[in-house]
Chain A
Amino acid sequence: SQKIEQNSEALNIQEGKTATLTCNYTNYSPAYLQWYRQDPGRGPVFLLLIRENEKEKRKERLKVTFDTTLKQSLFHITASQPADSATYLCATTYVYNFNKFYFGSGTKLNVKP
């Protein structure tokens, strides 16, 4: 089955710096990959989606890259703020079943003032 790996260690950075989170996948290349944000005690909230044939996607301070050779996606938050502190999950879907998602376990980001 598909395996999605995210760094289980929390990422601690200083306010104003760029946070970079990693998502690696095994086996098949996903049709697309998504990033979600999850706050404690809440459900995940969709942030960005990137397709297999896209290298990069941006939304305000967020940027996602997708490297099918490395089987990796990077998620960047520029000019990070304490309000960005949360757990970030990546999820993949595949051509053989667009309706099914595979989630990583998430990486916790702590942005210190």
Chain B
Amino acid sequence: DVKVTQSSRYLVKRTGEKVFLECVQDMDHENMFWYRQDPGLGLRLIYFSYDVKMKEKGDIPEGYSVSREKKERFSLILESASTNQTSMYLCASSLDSFLTSGRKETQYFGPGTRLLVL
């Protein structure tokens, strides 16, 4: 079974702090994603990465950056946390669609990190 783990389940930070959220997957997946989930807004894509050191902006990248130095690890960085970044953050991974011929691009999610910025 694919396992996606996130470094923390709950985090409390102060405005202006630099925040690191870590995600690790153990199935050698090429793609990794960071979403935030807010009531009524669903999952919104922040960034995704399709290979080591490669990244693409999602729909809401402002205020965030990412790092993928190793295939299994994808980090989300809040350079200067603000109260409007209080949210549930979800990491996911998937196989690359090219390798599966479009047959199996399901995403596997981690348990989420609930971040509160005071």
List residues of chain B with CB within 8 A of the CB of A8.
40
Chain B residues within an 8 Å CB radius of A93: 105
Asked whether A100 lies within 8 Å of B48 as measured between CB atoms, the reply is yes
- Which B residues have a C-beta under 8 Å from some C-beta of A? 4, 31, 33, 35, 40-43, 45, 48, 50, 59, 90, 92, 94, 96-97, 102, 105-112, 114
Interface string of A1-14 (1 = CB under 8 A from B): 10010001000000
Complex contact A1–B59 (CB within 8 A): yes
Chain B residues near A91 (CB-CB < 8 A) = 107
Complex CA gap A4/B45 in Å reads: 14
Interface pairs (24), CB distance under 8 Å = A1-B59, A8-B40, A31-B102, A32-B102, A34-B106, A41-B112, A42-B112, A43-B4, A43-B90, A43-B110, A44-B90, A44-B107, A44-B109, A46-B108, A91-B107, A98-B97, A99-B48, A99-B96, A101-B33, A101-B107, A103-B35, A103-B43, A105-B41, A106-B42
